[in-house]
Every structure is written in C-alpha cells, then in structure tokens.
Amino acid sequence: MIPKALPDAKIQSLFYKSFYDMPTRIGPRIQQRERVKEVVIREKLDYAPKSALVATPVIFQERKKAAESCDVVYSSKWSKEQQRKATSEVCSSPYFCPEISVNLNNSGHSEGVVSCPSKQLWTNTFFGVKSAELLEKQGFADFLFSITDNGFVYRSDNVSANNASSASILRTKDFIDSLTDTVRIILVFYTPQYGITSNVLITAKFHGSQGARVDYELLHYEIIEGTKLGLYIFVQSLVIFNLAAMLVEVINNLRTLYVEAKLGISISKAKLVTPVLDLLAFLLILVYVCLRIVDKAGAASTAEAILSDLDGIEWSSPQITLAFKKDRCCYLCVCLA
C-alpha cells in the first residue's frame, strides 16, 4: 500500500466526520497485562521454492553531470525555451520555483527543466546517498525496495547533516532520469539442496541513442566438500601427472638438442620453438590447476563466511544505522560478484 497525499479540504472533511466518534474511545478493549498473557498461535508455512534471496537486492546507479549545453545546437536552444516557458507560465507571480534556474545546482540534478548529460561522472550526493565505489565503478547504491516499493522517500542531500530542515521528499520515479548513465541490480540467491550460491547482475545502459540496453549475467558458485571435493582433487592430480609426463618429454628433447649442439650439428630455430612453448604451457597449466585446487578447497569456508555475514546483519537493531547496514550488505554482495 503506497500512501498518497490528500488535499487539505479532504483532510478537514475527514477530521470533522470522525470528531464526535473519537472522544468515545477511552482505550483498548483488552488491558495490556491481559494481552501479554494471551498466546497467539501461528501456523507453519513452508517455503516452496528451492532458492531463496539471502540479501536485500541492491540497485546501483552511475550518472553524469549536467552539461551547460547540448552537443546539438538546436537542443540547447530548445532546452532554454522550455526553461523560459516554465519560468514565465508556471513560476510567475504569485508562484515561485526556487529549484528552476538557468544555472546548475549541486544535487546531481539540473536546475533547468531539461538538460543533456556531460562526460563527467557525478560523484557528490544523489537521492540522499553518498557516492561510493561498487563493482569497480563510482556511483550511488541503494536498496531496490526503497525505490520500487515506495512512491517517495524522505532524504537529505547532505548525508552527514542531522538537521531535518535540510531533508526533502523525493519522488522515486525520478531516481532514473536524463542524467542516468548505467543502472545495475544485484541479487544473491542460495540453494540449500545443492549448496549453490547464484549471483544475478542485471545491467541497463541508458547512454545509447536507441534507449536502454539491458543485459544480465548469472554466476553460480558451488560449495564442494566431502566426496565431491576428493574426486575433484583426484582428477586434477591426474592432470598434474600428465603434466609431469609432458615435462619429461620436453627435458628429453632439450637434452637431445644440447647433445647435437655439442657435436657441432646446426640446430634450426624451429626445433627450439616447440620445446620452449611446451615448457611455457606446462608452467601455465600447472599454476592454473594449483590455483583451482586451492580455490575449490576453500570454497566452502569462503561461501559460508560471506553468507553468514549477510544473514547476520541485524536489520531490526535500532543501535546500528541504516547507512552501515546498507554499506555492509553492498560490500558482501560485491564479494560474490
């Protein structure tokens, strides 16, 4: 249910209609001490899907600063004309529009009615959110439900300010505007049956001329332990054994070339290239296999640590600020990205 602002006349009408009914209410029908003793029975509800969200979905926006003029000459003229119309028709006396001006302000929005994005990234604050680095990009991270489940949010442009007068009501439909460059949505799922963590990254790019281009990336991280881990290490050990056989052959070839060179037999460069390439391939494959074994062996503890930290965020605790919870959640989500 999304609350809607009511006109003053409607609020006054509701007040007068319920005015005479409210004085008759002297308190709750059941006293508090009796309500505390009452036992409330809840039915068991099973969770049907195999996968579950383990973290609050995160939305991350990269945006550009507003340009003083557009690349197309007529677009600049048209923008200024819309500015003039808004100022003369909508903001004429007795009305006043403090946010509409020819200049640009410092909140990430253009004070003009219409503006074109520049090539410079906006790194100050936007929608009451401080700029942060996420996925090796600079932008603004927020909880997805804050934007999708609410018609407006109450935010301050100055994140560190405690003065309520600096805050304002922002429409969530304005979160994506003409200055938005890229929007990313991060969702983290976990499937207990198979021990698989799934990371979904949805990317929408708005800087093209054909509208938004949406792509998605789905990554799975499986926890391997017990018998599966033993089989994996056994197979990789066979690979190392084959590499050892390959190394013996390379050494024999190099020894043959060395003997031929000592006997004065000319050796072509083509004969040297093959064993050198084989030796380099041996080293690269050996390093890769060793890294994979170490990664798989520690996958269970790593995934358990990250998922436990996500599950351990005390969302209901009033002692922990919402900004800290959001930063912690974003950091852990990126660890799985």
Per-residue pLDDT for the chain (337 aa), expressed as one digit of tens each? 456 778 888 888 888 887 777 666 666 667 777 777 778 888 887 777 788 888 888 899 998 888 777 888 888 888 888 777 777 777 777 777 766 644 434 443 444 667 788 888 888 888 888 888 887 888 888 889 888 888 888 877 554 444 445 678 888 888 888 888 899 998 888 888 888 888 889 999 987 777 788 899 888 888 887 888 888 888 888 888 888 888 888 888 888 877 777 777 777 777 778 888 888 888 888 888 888 888 888 777 877 888 888 877 887 777 877 778 888 887 777 776 6
Q: Which two tokens stand for residue 294?
A: 């170490």
Q: What angle do CA 3, 148, 129 make, to 5 degrees?
A: 100
CB 121 within 8 A of CB 134: no
**Sign of the Cα pseudo-torsion (287, 288, 289, 290, in order):** positive
Whether residue 155 contacts residue 30, with contact meaning beta carbons closer than 8 Å, is answered with no
- For the entire predicted model, the pTM comes to 0.67
The two tokens of residue 240 are 């190392």
User: DSSP of 248-302, one letter per residue?
Assistant: HHHHHHHHHHHHHHHTT----HHHHHHHHHHHHHHHHHHHHHHHHHHHHHTHHHH
**Residue 280: HSE in the Cβ half-sphere, 13 Å Cα cutoff:** 6
Cα distance between residue 118 and residue 196, in whole Å: 42
The pairing of beta strand 152-156 with beta strand 137-143: unpaired
Cβ atoms of 64 and 71 within 8 Å: the answer is: no
Which amino acid belongs to residue 72? V
All structural domains of the chain with their residue ranges = 227-297
The DSSP bridge pattern shows strands 129-130 and 132-134 to be unpaired
Q: 94 preceded by cis ω (within 30°)?
A: yes
Distance spanning both ends of the chain, measured CA to CA: 33
State the burial class of residue 279 (Cβ atoms within 10 Å of its Cβ: 0-12, 13-18, 19+).
middle
For residues 189 and 200, is the Cβ–Cβ distance under 8 A? yes
Residues in the chain: 337
pLDDT for residue 103: 41
Q: What is the pLDDT of residue 158?
A: 53
Which residues, including other chains, have CB under 8 Å from residue 39's CB and lie 6 or more apart? none
DSSP of 7-56: PHHHHHHHHHHHTTTGGG--S-SS-HHHHHHSPPP-------SS-EE-S-
Q: What is each CA distance from 144 to 140, 147, 157, 263, 286, in whole angstroms?
A: 12, 6, 19, 75, 43
Q: Indicate the DSSP class of residue 67.
A: P
